Amino acid sequence: MNESKISVRYAKAIFAYALEKNILEDVKKDLSLIFDVCQKEKDFVALIESPIVTTTKKQKVVKQIFQNKINLSTLSFLNLVFSNKREAFLKKITRNFLKIYRTHNGIKQVSFTSSCEITDELRQNIRKVIKKEFSDKFELTEVVDKDLIGGFVLRIEDLQYDASVLNKLDRLKKQLTDLSIENNTRS
């Protein structure tokens, strides 16, 4: 079975269960935590994806890490994922769950990328502009990309506004290249 279908199927299952049991917010919080751990802790991901470590050992480690931090229903779901040997899909399952959750609640995903950390004042201004333009609920994710020379990239769902210096330099380079080609063809 396609790995995308697997992760979506599990994400839909835990979403439907959480909705039915009226614990959606708790499960969302839990799966957000697990997704963050998968994003930040490479050793954790290496452990759960390792074919050498037994499923039982992986379950024990996951239980030790999350036992007092997540809902029992979420912990049971993790046990199901591991019992079915689908732990390698955990990050994708959590990502898909969060996407389903945002869609269900009409929350747009917004990403603001800049070359350095942003100030609280700028963060508040970004939030005001997004709220004014889209008048929707949204989650703002801030990303620091040291490769950006300056400026920022704002992504709202599938829309992107690239006001980075790097993008401006790329456009200038393309214009100069086009101009050079145009001049060479005239000669």
CATH code for the domain in which residue 64 is found: 1.10.520.20
User: Are 172 and 118 contained in the same domain?
Assistant: yes
Interval 76-95: pLDDT, tens: 999 999 999 999 999 999 99
Alpha carbon separation from 146 to 25, 26, 64, 112, 117 (Å, rounded): 34, 35, 35, 13, 10
Q: What is the CATH number of the domain that holds 115?
A: 3.30.1330
Q: Is 141 left (phi over 0), alpha (psi -120 to 50) or beta?
A: beta
User: Are 87 and 19 contained in the same domain?
Assistant: yes
Q: Is the pTM of this model over 0.95?
A: no
End position of a domain, from candidates 46, 73, 103: 103
Q: Is 22 left (phi over 0), alpha (psi -120 to 50) or beta?
A: left
User: Are 112 and 59 contained in the same domain?
Assistant: no
Q: How confident is the model at residue 28 (pLDDT cuts 50, 70, 90)?
A: very high
End position of a domain, from candidates 103, 119, 147: 103
- pLDDT number for residue 180: 66
Sequence-distant (6+) residues with CB within 8 A of 134 are: 108, 156
User: Are 90 and 115 contained in the same domain?
Assistant: no
Q: How confident is the model at residue 129 (pLDDT cuts 50, 70, 90)?
A: confident
Interval 41-77: pLDDT, tens: 999 999 999 999 999 999 999 889 898 899 999 999 9
Interval 132-145: pLDDT, tens: 877 678 887 888 88
Alpha carbon separation from 14 to 28, 34, 59, 132 (Å, rounded): 10, 14, 18, 33
User: Are 35 and 85 contained in the same domain?
Assistant: yes
Sequence-distant (6+) residues with CB within 8 A of 108 are: 102, 134, 136, 137, 138, 139, 156, 157
End position of a domain, from candidates 48, 77, 103: 103
| Count of domains for the chain | 2
The domain in which residue 16 lies consists of 3-103
User: Are 153 and 173 contained in the same domain?
Assistant: yes
User: Are 117 and 36 contained in the same domain?
Assistant: no
